[in-house]
Protein backbone atom coordinates (compact mmCIF):
# COMPACT_ATOMS: atom_id res chain seq x y z
CA UNK A 1 0.00 0.00 0.00
CA UNK A 2 1.30 3.45 -0.86
CA UNK A 3 1.57 5.72 2.18
CA UNK A 4 2.51 8.65 -0.01
CA UNK A 5 1.35 9.26 -3.56
CA UNK A 6 2.61 12.14 -5.66
CA UNK A 7 1.55 12.81 -9.24
CA UNK A 8 2.82 15.60 -11.43
CA UNK A 9 3.61 17.85 -8.47
CA UNK A 10 4.65 21.41 -9.28
CA UNK A 11 5.79 24.26 -7.08
CA UNK A 12 7.32 27.61 -8.02
CA UNK A 13 8.67 30.49 -5.97
CA UNK A 14 8.19 33.42 -8.32
CA UNK A 15 10.18 32.54 -11.39
CA UNK A 16 12.09 29.74 -9.74
CA UNK A 17 10.62 26.34 -10.49
CA UNK A 18 11.43 24.34 -7.39
CA UNK A 19 9.49 21.23 -8.47
CA UNK A 20 8.84 20.62 -12.14
CA UNK A 21 6.12 17.99 -12.20
CA UNK A 22 7.40 15.05 -10.18
CA UNK A 23 5.66 11.72 -9.51
CA UNK A 24 6.47 8.87 -7.14
CA UNK A 25 5.05 6.85 -4.31
CA UNK A 26 6.34 5.59 -1.00
CA UNK A 27 5.25 2.21 0.37
CA UNK A 28 4.34 1.30 3.91
CA UNK A 29 7.38 0.90 6.18
CA UNK A 30 9.91 1.93 3.54
CA UNK A 31 13.03 3.99 4.10
CA UNK A 32 12.72 6.26 1.08
CA UNK A 33 15.69 8.49 0.25
CA UNK A 34 15.57 11.82 -1.58
CA UNK A 35 19.13 12.11 -2.85
CA UNK A 36 20.39 15.35 -4.37
CA UNK A 37 22.34 18.57 -3.92
CA UNK A 38 21.14 21.94 -2.58
CA UNK A 39 18.46 23.40 -4.82
CA UNK A 40 17.22 20.00 -6.03
CA UNK A 41 13.80 20.58 -4.43
CA UNK A 42 14.11 18.12 -1.57
CA UNK A 43 13.05 20.47 1.22
CA UNK A 44 10.23 21.95 -0.84
CA UNK A 45 8.91 18.46 -1.47
CA UNK A 46 9.10 17.49 2.20
CA UNK A 47 7.35 20.70 3.24
CA UNK A 48 4.51 20.08 0.79
CA UNK A 49 4.11 16.50 1.98
CA UNK A 50 3.95 17.50 5.62
CA UNK A 51 1.47 20.34 4.88
CA UNK A 52 3.71 23.30 5.71
CA UNK A 53 3.47 24.85 2.25
CA UNK A 54 0.91 24.54 -0.53
CA UNK A 55 1.62 22.95 -3.88
CA UNK A 56 0.77 24.80 -7.12
CA UNK A 57 -0.37 21.85 -9.15
CA UNK A 58 -0.61 18.07 -9.04
CA UNK A 59 -1.98 15.35 -6.80
CA UNK A 60 -0.54 14.61 -3.37
CA UNK A 61 -1.81 12.12 -0.85
CA UNK A 62 -0.22 11.32 2.51
CA UNK A 63 -1.81 8.42 4.40
CA UNK A 64 -4.75 8.88 2.07
CA UNK A 65 -5.22 12.58 2.94
CA UNK A 66 -4.66 15.77 0.97
CA UNK A 67 -2.07 17.98 2.73
CA UNK A 68 -3.65 21.14 1.28
CA UNK A 69 -6.97 20.35 3.00
CA UNK A 70 -6.67 17.66 5.64
CA UNK A 71 -3.56 19.06 7.20
CA UNK A 72 -4.71 18.55 10.77
CA UNK A 73 -4.86 14.79 10.36
CA UNK A 74 -1.50 14.80 8.64
CA UNK A 75 0.20 16.95 11.25
CA UNK A 76 -1.07 14.67 14.00
CA UNK A 77 0.32 11.58 12.37
CA UNK A 78 3.67 12.61 10.98
CA UNK A 79 6.99 13.46 12.59
CA UNK A 80 9.23 16.11 11.04
CA UNK A 81 12.83 16.89 11.73
CA UNK A 82 13.80 19.98 9.73
CA UNK A 83 17.32 20.63 8.52
CA UNK A 84 17.86 23.44 10.97
CA UNK A 85 17.65 22.74 14.72
CA UNK A 86 14.31 24.18 15.76
CA UNK A 87 13.66 23.19 19.34
CA UNK A 88 13.66 25.63 22.25
CA UNK A 89 17.25 26.39 23.17
CA UNK A 90 16.24 27.88 26.52
CA UNK A 91 14.33 24.80 27.61
CA UNK A 92 16.08 21.75 29.00
CA UNK A 93 16.16 18.41 27.22
CA UNK A 94 13.32 17.11 29.35
CA UNK A 95 11.28 20.31 29.09
CA UNK A 96 11.49 20.24 25.31
CA UNK A 97 10.28 16.67 25.17
CA UNK A 98 7.49 17.28 27.68
CA UNK A 99 6.42 20.35 25.73
CA UNK A 100 6.08 18.45 22.47
CA UNK A 101 4.46 15.49 24.20
CA UNK A 102 1.85 17.79 25.74
CA UNK A 103 1.10 19.47 22.41
CA UNK A 104 0.35 16.08 20.92
CA UNK A 105 -1.65 14.99 23.98
CA UNK A 106 0.76 12.32 25.05
CA UNK A 107 3.58 11.78 27.55
CA UNK A 108 7.22 10.76 27.41
CA UNK A 109 6.22 7.59 29.22
CA UNK A 110 3.72 6.53 26.58
CA UNK A 111 6.27 6.93 23.78
CA UNK A 112 9.19 5.63 25.77
CA UNK A 113 9.31 2.30 23.98
CA UNK A 114 9.75 4.03 20.62
CA UNK A 115 12.30 6.64 21.64
CA UNK A 116 14.11 4.58 24.28
CA UNK A 117 17.22 3.73 22.27
CA UNK A 118 17.79 7.34 21.25
CA UNK A 119 16.54 9.01 24.43
CA UNK A 120 18.83 6.96 26.67
CA UNK A 121 21.81 8.61 25.01
CA UNK A 122 20.66 12.10 26.04
CA UNK A 123 18.79 11.25 29.25
CA UNK A 124 21.90 11.87 31.41
CA UNK A 125 21.64 15.50 30.23
CA UNK A 126 17.92 15.85 30.98
CA UNK A 127 18.40 19.13 32.83
CA UNK A 128 20.79 20.72 30.38
CA UNK A 129 19.43 23.47 28.16
CA UNK A 130 19.04 22.38 24.56
CA UNK A 131 21.18 25.32 23.41
CA UNK A 132 24.14 23.94 25.38
CA UNK A 133 24.07 20.48 23.78
CA UNK A 134 26.61 19.31 21.22
CA UNK A 135 25.52 18.99 17.60
CA UNK A 136 25.07 15.25 17.85
CA UNK A 137 23.00 15.48 21.01
CA UNK A 138 20.80 18.25 19.59
CA UNK A 139 20.08 15.99 16.68
CA UNK A 140 19.08 13.12 18.95
CA UNK A 141 16.82 15.43 20.95
CA UNK A 142 15.22 16.73 17.76
CA UNK A 143 14.58 13.17 16.63
CA UNK A 144 13.04 12.19 19.97
CA UNK A 145 10.75 15.22 19.74
CA UNK A 146 9.73 14.27 16.21
CA UNK A 147 8.85 10.77 17.42
CA UNK A 148 7.12 11.69 20.68
CA UNK A 149 3.58 11.13 19.33
CA UNK A 150 4.35 7.82 17.62
CA UNK A 151 4.05 9.12 14.06
CA UNK A 152 3.22 6.79 11.18
CA UNK A 153 5.39 8.72 8.77
CA UNK A 154 8.67 10.40 9.66
CA UNK A 155 10.28 13.13 7.55
CA UNK A 156 13.99 13.76 8.09
CA UNK A 157 15.29 16.73 6.12
CA UNK A 158 19.06 16.39 5.68
CA UNK A 159 19.74 14.96 9.13
CA UNK A 160 23.38 14.23 8.27
CA UNK A 161 24.43 17.39 6.42
CA UNK A 162 27.64 18.87 7.81
CA UNK A 163 27.98 15.90 10.14
CA UNK A 164 31.24 13.96 10.29
CA UNK A 165 31.38 10.41 8.86
CA UNK A 166 31.28 8.69 12.24
CA UNK A 167 28.23 10.60 13.49
CA UNK A 168 26.57 10.00 10.13
CA UNK A 169 26.99 6.25 10.53
CA UNK A 170 25.54 6.40 14.03
CA UNK A 171 22.54 8.36 12.85
CA UNK A 172 21.83 5.85 10.11
CA UNK A 173 21.92 3.05 12.66
CA UNK A 174 19.21 4.91 14.56
CA UNK A 175 17.14 5.28 11.40
CA UNK A 176 17.47 1.56 10.70
CA UNK A 177 16.43 0.90 14.30
CA UNK A 178 13.19 2.85 13.84
CA UNK A 179 12.27 0.57 11.00
CA UNK A 180 11.11 -2.20 13.31
CA UNK A 181 8.47 0.12 14.75
CA UNK A 182 6.56 0.14 11.48
CA UNK A 183 7.30 3.78 10.66
CA UNK A 184 7.60 4.92 7.06
CA UNK A 185 10.66 7.16 6.74
CA UNK A 186 11.36 9.79 4.09
CA UNK A 187 14.91 11.07 4.44
CA UNK A 188 16.78 13.58 2.29
CA UNK A 189 20.54 13.82 1.91
CA UNK A 190 23.18 15.38 -0.35
CA UNK A 191 25.56 12.46 0.36
CA UNK A 192 25.28 10.02 -2.53
CA UNK A 193 26.80 7.14 -0.58
CA UNK A 194 23.85 7.24 1.83
CA UNK A 195 21.57 6.03 -0.98
CA UNK A 196 22.77 2.50 -0.23
CA UNK A 197 21.20 2.67 3.22
CA UNK A 198 17.67 3.27 1.88
CA UNK A 199 15.13 0.74 0.60
CA UNK A 200 14.40 2.90 -2.43
CA UNK A 201 15.68 6.26 -3.56
CA UNK A 202 14.70 9.13 -5.82
CA UNK A 203 17.69 10.92 -7.34
CA UNK A 204 16.71 14.59 -7.51
CA UNK A 205 18.26 17.54 -9.27
CA UNK A 206 16.96 20.93 -10.29
CA UNK A 207 13.31 20.20 -9.46
CA UNK A 208 13.18 16.89 -11.27
CA UNK A 209 13.46 13.25 -10.30
CA UNK A 210 16.18 11.69 -12.42
CA UNK A 211 15.52 8.12 -11.34
CA UNK A 212 13.56 6.11 -8.78
CA UNK A 213 14.58 2.59 -7.84
CA UNK A 214 16.32 0.45 -5.26
CA UNK A 215 19.86 1.66 -4.58
CA UNK A 216 21.25 -1.53 -6.14
CA UNK A 217 19.33 -0.99 -9.37
CA UNK A 218 20.23 2.70 -9.48
CA UNK A 219 23.94 2.02 -8.98
CA UNK A 220 24.05 -0.60 -11.72
CA UNK A 221 22.13 1.48 -14.27
CA UNK A 222 25.08 3.41 -15.69
CA UNK A 223 24.72 1.76 -19.10
CA UNK A 224 28.43 2.11 -19.79
CA UNK A 225 31.55 0.17 -18.90
CA UNK A 226 33.28 2.05 -16.12
CA UNK A 227 37.05 2.07 -15.66
CA UNK A 228 39.09 3.21 -12.67
CA UNK A 229 42.45 4.72 -13.64
CA UNK A 230 45.57 5.53 -11.73
CA UNK A 231 49.12 6.44 -12.73
CA UNK A 232 52.27 7.69 -11.08
CA UNK A 233 51.65 11.25 -12.21
CA UNK A 234 48.80 12.58 -10.11
CA UNK A 235 45.23 12.99 -11.25
CA UNK A 236 45.34 16.55 -12.52
CA UNK A 237 47.71 15.71 -15.40
CA UNK A 238 45.88 12.47 -16.08
CA UNK A 239 42.52 14.23 -16.42
CA UNK A 240 44.02 16.67 -18.90
CA UNK A 241 45.53 13.87 -20.97
CA UNK A 242 42.29 11.89 -21.02
CA UNK A 243 40.25 14.92 -22.09
CA UNK A 244 42.42 15.06 -25.20
CA UNK A 245 41.80 11.40 -25.97
CA UNK A 246 39.39 11.32 -28.94
CA UNK A 247 37.37 8.35 -27.63
CA UNK A 248 36.85 9.82 -24.18
CA UNK A 249 33.21 9.79 -23.11
CA UNK A 250 33.56 11.06 -19.54
CA UNK A 251 36.31 11.42 -16.97
CA UNK A 252 36.20 12.70 -13.42
CA UNK A 253 38.09 12.22 -10.15
CA UNK A 254 36.69 9.73 -7.68
CA UNK A 255 38.61 9.31 -4.46
CA UNK A 256 42.22 8.48 -5.26
CA UNK A 257 41.38 7.31 -8.80
CA UNK A 258 39.73 8.64 -11.94
CA UNK A 259 36.50 7.20 -13.25
CA UNK A 260 36.46 6.95 -17.02
CA UNK A 261 33.99 5.87 -19.70
CA UNK A 262 34.81 5.44 -23.37
CA UNK A 263 32.74 6.02 -26.50
CA UNK A 264 33.53 2.50 -27.71
CA UNK A 265 31.72 -0.54 -26.36
CA UNK A 266 34.50 -3.15 -26.38
CA UNK A 267 37.19 -3.50 -23.71
CA UNK A 268 39.59 -0.64 -24.45
CA UNK A 269 42.05 -1.20 -21.58
CA UNK A 270 45.02 -1.99 -23.80
CA UNK A 271 44.41 0.85 -26.31
CA UNK A 272 44.06 3.31 -23.47
CA UNK A 273 47.15 1.93 -21.80
CA UNK A 274 49.31 2.53 -24.86
CA UNK A 275 47.85 6.02 -25.39
CA UNK A 276 48.83 6.98 -21.85
CA UNK A 277 52.26 5.39 -22.22
CA UNK A 278 52.86 7.53 -25.30
CA UNK A 279 51.89 10.56 -23.24
CA UNK A 280 54.65 9.73 -20.78
CA UNK A 281 52.66 8.15 -17.95
CA UNK A 282 53.99 5.12 -16.15
CA UNK A 283 52.65 2.67 -13.56
CA UNK A 284 49.32 2.84 -15.37
CA UNK A 285 46.52 0.90 -13.71
CA UNK A 286 43.27 0.44 -15.64
CA UNK A 287 40.56 -1.58 -13.98
CA UNK A 288 36.94 -2.34 -14.89
CA UNK A 289 34.79 -1.54 -11.89
CA UNK A 290 31.14 -1.54 -10.83
CA UNK A 291 29.48 1.88 -10.87
CA UNK A 292 27.93 3.47 -7.79
CA UNK A 293 25.10 5.94 -7.16
CA UNK A 294 27.31 8.97 -7.67
CA UNK A 295 28.57 7.75 -11.08
CA UNK A 296 24.95 7.34 -12.18
CA UNK A 297 23.92 10.69 -10.72
CA UNK A 298 26.67 12.49 -12.63
CA UNK A 299 25.64 10.80 -15.87
CA UNK A 300 21.96 11.59 -15.37
CA UNK A 301 22.78 15.20 -14.50
CA UNK A 302 24.77 15.59 -17.70
CA UNK A 303 21.88 14.16 -19.72
CA UNK A 304 19.47 16.50 -17.95
CA UNK A 305 21.56 19.52 -18.94
CA UNK A 306 21.60 18.59 -22.60
Partner 1 sequence: MDSEKIIETTKLTKAFGDFKAVNEISFDVKKGEIFGFLGANGAGKSTAMKMLTGLLSPTSGEATVAGFDVFTQQEKIKKNIGYMSQKFSLYDDLSLLENIKFFGGIYGLSKEQLNERGNTMIERLGLSDVRNKLLKEVPLGWKQKIAFSVATLHQPKIVFLDEPTGGVDPITRRQFWEMIYEAADNGTTVFVTTHYMDEAEYCNRISMMVDGRIAGYGSPKELKSDFNSENMDEVFVKIARGENYKLQ
Interface residues toward partner 1, by CB under 8 A? 36-40, 134-136, 161-167, 169, 190-193, 205, 235-236, 239, 252-256, 294, 297-298, 301-302
Core vs surface per residue 267-278: b (16+ CB within 10 A) or e: ebeeebeebbee
Whole-number minimum distance, CB 233 to partner 1, in Å? 12
Burial-class residue 166 by CB neighbours within 10 Å (0-12, 13-18, 19+).
exposed
Whole-number minimum distance, CB 236 to partner 1, in Å? 4
Nearer to partner 1, 38 or 127 (CB): 38
Whole-number minimum distance, CB 178 to partner 1, in Å? 22
Neighbours of 93 (CB within 10 A): 26
Nearest alpha-carbon partner for 149 in 121, 123, 118, 115: 115
Nearer to partner 1, 35 or 268 (CB): 35
Are the beta carbons of 105 and 76 closer than 8 angstroms?
no
Nearer to partner 1, 23 or 167 (CB): 167
Nearer to partner 1, 111 or 139 (CB): 139
Are the beta carbons of 187 and 143 closer than 8 angstroms?
no
Query: How far from 82 is each of 29, 155, 158, 241, 244, CA to CA, in Å?
Result: 20, 8, 8, 45, 45
Angle at 186 between CA 125 and CA 69, to 5 degrees: 105
Whole-number minimum distance, CB 172 to partner 1, in Å? 12
Question: Rounded to whole angstroms, how far apart are CA atoms 160 and 158?
Answer: 5
Angle at 33 between CA 30 and CA 36, to 5 degrees: 170
Whole-number minimum distance, CB 74 to partner 1, in Å? 28
Whole-number minimum distance, CB 277 to partner 1, in Å? 23
Nearer to partner 1, 59 or 240 (CB): 240
Nearer to partner 1, 15 or 265 (CB): 15
Amino acid sequence: MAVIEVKNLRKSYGEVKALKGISFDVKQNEIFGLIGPDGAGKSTLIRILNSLILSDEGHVSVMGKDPNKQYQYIRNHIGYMPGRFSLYEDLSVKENLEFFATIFGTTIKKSYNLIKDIYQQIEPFNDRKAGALSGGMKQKLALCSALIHYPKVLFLDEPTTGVDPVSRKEFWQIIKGLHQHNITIIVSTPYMDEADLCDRVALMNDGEILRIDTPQNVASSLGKTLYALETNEGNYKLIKALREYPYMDSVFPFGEKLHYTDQRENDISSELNSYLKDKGFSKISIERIASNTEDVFIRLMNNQKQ
